[in-house]
Amino acid sequence: MPETTELSPQYSPTAIEAPLYQEWMARGLFKPETRRSDDPFVMVIPPPNVTAQLHMGHGLNDTVQDVIVRFERMRGRETLWVPGTDHAGIATQNVVERLIAKEGKNRRDIGREAFVERVKSFVAETGSTILEQLKAIGCSCDWSRTRYTFSPEMSRAVREVFVRLWDEGLIYRGHRVIHWCSHCLTSLSDEEAEHTEHDGHLYHIRYPLEDGSGHVTVATTRPETLLGDVAVAVNPEDEPKQKFVGKRVRLPFNGELIPIIADEAVELGFGSGFLKITPAHDPNDFEIGQRHKLPAPLILTPDAKLADLSLEGKAGGRVPAELFGMDRFEARRVMVEQLKHLKLLDKIEPHRNAVRHCYRCDTIVEPRLSDQWFVKIRPLAEPALAAYRNGEVKFIPERRGREYEQWLENIRDWNISRQLWWGHRIPIWYCDACKTTKAYREDPSSCEKCGGALRQDEDVLDTWFSSWLWPFSTLGWPDQTPDLERFYPTDVLVTAPEILFLWVARMIFSGLHFMKQLPFHTVYLHGTVRDTQHRKMSKSLGNGIDPLDVVQLYGADALRFTVINGLSVGTDIILDNTDLEATFASGRNFANKLWNVGRLVLSHAESLSADSGPRPAASWPLADGSKLALSDRWILSRLDRCVRETTDHLERFRLNDSTGTPYHFLWDDFADWYLEAIKPRLYGDEPGGDVARAVAVHCFDTVLRLLHPVMPFITETLFRKLPGNADATIVLAPWPAGDRNDTAAEEDFAFVQALVDAIRVIRADAGVKPGQTVAASVAGLTAKTRASIDAERVTIMRLGKLSSLDEAAASGPGGYGVLPAGASVFVALSGAIDIQKECARLGEECSRLEKQLSALEAKLANEKFLAKAPPDVIATEREKRASWAEKIGTLRAKVKALGC
RNA sequence: GGGCGGUUAGCUCAGUUGGUUAGAGCGCUACGUUGACAUCGUAGAGGUCACAAGUUCGAAUCUUGUACCGCCCACCA
């Protein structure tokens, strides 16, 4: 056998994948410059955190993108998939802080500058790990355009955006209660503080009245904050309580005297009707406090310990010595005990409420009064909302669009300042001399107004304040680069639904605002990877699957196929981390099947080119129909149907169907039927081998292309073994077209299949040994069905393991099968047949059909059905009735003949 | 509290505008060393399509209700 067609008998993915990837890169196949077109297809990767290690979430996300981009590349479009990483402010800072904690230090010991340097060197060491891992699963990114959200270029874009928003009056300093993470020691945006429901308690606490006339009872979930209370409020509509308004109560523990006020924010009918007001530690209370011009004492340190602080410069003495420095939850426990002793605790009710958690460390977020930078969001959100409502941006699945819409309708200003050291420093400088505050594109040396010394804001920007610019900052903005010109806007954004608001929506804001164009027209949001208990795969649960393990064991193609094949639109993907063998069996088995089909086809492909010169163009033997056997016409028609459907599925992002369609074609139609049908021709037992080889090669070549997006490595390997393809690459091979629709051939071959199936069933039921041949007769043929049998006589004989096949009425002992179009088949089984069993089998089938038929006849006798159902439905039902009746007739005749 | 999904074979899921004998993969059973493949082949078992009512000639598919599961949003302490 010539060397070019030689494939190792054993499919071993690890041997082929890595070298192929290197070669693809060396040839620059993933660079848009490799093939220019007028309609580039562009995607930007959701940048993984720079400290990340590849997990199944990436495995899924990046495979989906690769499938899409490879599909578009094969369709002839110039493609660009921009890779990169995110500096991930909080997450990365936490990682490095943990590292230096092992050295017994914290970041303040080291100092800001040194700490930032430390993080930078950490990132320099490990930052490319994840990108290298993406190569192992075959991602066809243009690595020459790799970006990083904290590179100097990105920093310039961030500065530009900040200054522009500042100049437009869309950035302001806000004094309000924000979400504070006492572990990460920073404020968070609304989106970074996630709600979780908790079973908590509602504590009813007595506040004694100043005049000694009794007490009022407040209801709270957070007793420890009472030290920061500045009032008790009742609803003005709450008549019985109006007599308390204007009086004062004395706070337990610190004896502060606070007024009772009336405010309509107090919900009627909730709790005790008395609301304690803690302006510095509750956003509602802050607003009530503002309305009543109350102070706002802070009574918690940044790391959530009781202490006396105040932004108002007042207060002090609110936290008694015995509680000072105590953690908030410990304080709650202690204070509740104390209140019990003091007989100031009326009752504790169970109470379920939602508490916000830090999305990075899961610590319960503390509402905290502070000064932060905000982006005025409505002016940005309105156009983004309009774009959705106009249908300019589409979400898959659609319901995610409704979530997007709902979020935009209720959106609030975006807190963009973080009290971290790792991130883009806020480009605001203060002049203490002339009291100006200004945003600068370039670091200023002195105040441009008075020449005085400047002081830069200490905070850094939210990580998402750089990633929201990703679709254009990666292309060179704010410069008008050729890339920006050519590749913006991008086409499809593929990501997980978790970051719809954090990232996707904001990219739409920034794209519309700074580029005046949507950053992409389609947002594809795939599900989450979960284990068999439907828990999200995570490091902490230890239920993850390392994609690289899977690549090592079964290959990237098997991984990719399994994941994509299991990915229905809008559903999560469930994988069993305890049984990788079973989990990835579908992908591995299919790759193996493909490989072996390849071995068969390719071993004959070489003689094709030897016999017929260069491999025939797609027009042959397709144009010369006269030489095609029925099976050839059938498989070519099936193939083109498969091409059309696969294309359609990919266009509609029905990714599981896009793999399922060629899977079934390759396995069920091509391998199980066609290859078996042509073996006699392939091996020279029958004439027409050249045509069979040509058709087989054409089908195989085509299905390889259809599978290339999902299984890039194996398809490339097999593709190059096709005659004349030694130097070709499937990466840039044209996507096939499928115009043929030979319904006559499909119908005729289906009859052949039904005949073979019937014979096989009879054999299996009678327990005929696989090696033993039997004689079969068919009856009730029409000219058409007779022609079909004649056309594929050899196939039927082979697959039915027949010694003879003639047209005759049934006689003697044997098995009986009913075929479409009034035909029937009889297999003579002298002696071998168990009459009892055969009678039972036929009787069963007969009664099943009779039951169906009587239901159908009732339907056809129904006047209303005849009057209202569409004519084509009625016609179909009548055809069914005729064919079933015919089947029953032949079955009955057989039953009678057998003397059952 | 507001909004939105889901419930189909042991498991994971298809089922596109209501008309099929309700499908696939994995798993399971029986048989099989047939000129590529035992990571395979052939045959097969397995489902009252969550439950109830309704619309319709006809419902897994549409409507309403119930139960359970899940997602998004949320300043009733």
Cβ neighbours, 10 Å, residue A504: 23
Q: Is the CB of A410 under 7 A from strand B?
A: yes
Query: Residue A316 has what pLDDT?
Result: 66
**Beta bridge mates, A178:** A368
A144 CB below 7 A from strand B atoms = no
Q: Is the CB of A680 under 7 A from strand B?
A: yes
Which of chain B's bases lie under 7 Å from a protein CB? Answer: 2-5, 11-15, 19, 21, 24-27, 31-32, 34-37, 39-44, 56-58, 69-77
Confidence at residue A617, expressed as pLDDT on a 0 to 100 scale: 47
Q: What is the DSSP string of A586-601?
A: HHHHHHHHHHHHHHHH
Mean pLDDT of A85-109: 91
Q: Which residue has the higher pLDDT, A7 or A91?
A: A91
Kindly indicate the confidence band of residue A614, based on its pLDDT and cuts at 50, 70 and 90.
very low
Give me the pLDDT at residue A530, please. 87
- Residue A615: what pLDDT? 45
pLDDT > 70: percent of chain A: 96
pLDDT, average across residues A54-70:
94
> Is any atom of strand B within 7 angstroms of residue A62's beta carbon?
no
Phi-psi region of A138 (alpha: psi -120 to 50; beta: other; left: phi over 0): left
The reported pLDDT for the residue numbered A451 is 86
* Arithmetic mean of pLDDT over chain A: 89
What pLDDT does A311 receive? Answer: 47
* pLDDT tier at A833, thresholds 50, 70, 90: low
Strand pairing partners for A137? none
Q: What is the mean pLDDT of residues A856-879?
A: 85
pLDDT attached to residue A807: 93
CA distances from A59 to A15, A62, A416, A480, A503 (A): 21, 6, 30, 34, 20
Nucleotide nearest A867 (Cα, C1'): B57
Judged against a pLDDT cut of 60, whether residue A608 lies above it is answered with no
Q: What type of residue sits at position A578?
A: T
A768 nearest nt, CA–C1'? B31
The structure tokens listed for A580 are 């990788």
Average pLDDT over residues A112-138: 93
| Per-residue model confidence as pLDDT tens digits over A258-295 | 999 999 888 888 888 899 999 999 999 999 999 999 98
Whether pLDDT at A4 is above 50: no
Lowest mean pLDDT among A213-217, A507-511, A708-712: A213-217
Q: Is the CB of A780 under 7 A from strand B?
A: no
d(CA A195, C1' B74) / Å: 9
Instruction: Give yes or no for residue A850 having a pLDDT over 50.
Output: yes
> CA-to-C1' distance for A56 and B26, Å?
20
pLDDT value, residue A834: 66
The pLDDT confidence band at residue A622, using thresholds 50, 70 and 90, is low
Residue A816's pLDDT band, with cuts at 50, 70 and 90, is: confident
Task: Using a 7 Å CB cutoff, list residues 270-289 of A near strand B.
Answer: 270-276, 282-284
DSSP-assigned states of every residue in A422-489: SSPBP-EEEETTTTEEEE-SS--SS-TTT---EEE-S-EE-THHHHTTHHHHTTTTTS--HHHHHH-S
Cα A695 to the chain's mean position, in Å?
A: 38
pLDDT at A86: 95
In DSSP terms, which residues pair with A174 in a beta bridge? Answer: A372
The CA–CA distances, whole Å, from A81 to A84, A134, A505 equal 10, 13, 20
What is the per-residue pLDDT for A254? 85
Task: Summarize pLDDT for A530-569 with one digit per residue, the tens.
Answer: 888 888 888 778 888 999 999 999 999 999 999 998 888 8
Which two three-digit tokens encode residue A619?
A: 């027009």
Who has greater pLDDT, A159 or A896? A159
pLDDT band, residue A323 (cuts 50/70/90): confident
Find the angle CA(A503)-CA(A505)-CA(A507) to the nearest 5 degrees: 65
Q: What is the pLDDT of residues A632-670, one digit of tens each?
A: 999 999 999 999 999 999 998 999 999 999 999 999 999
A200 or A735: which leads in pLDDT: A735
* Model confidence band, residue A310 (pLDDT cutoffs 50, 70, 90): low
Provide the token pair at A578. Answer: 């305890």
* Alpha-carbon gap, residue A545 to A539, rounded angstroms: 10
Residues 558-597 of A with CB under 7 A from strand B: 566, 568-574, 582, 585-586, 588-589, 591-593, 596-597
Q: Establish whether the CB of A646 is closer than 7 Å to any nucleic acid atom in strand B.
A: no
User: What number is the ipTM of this complex?
Assistant: 0.94
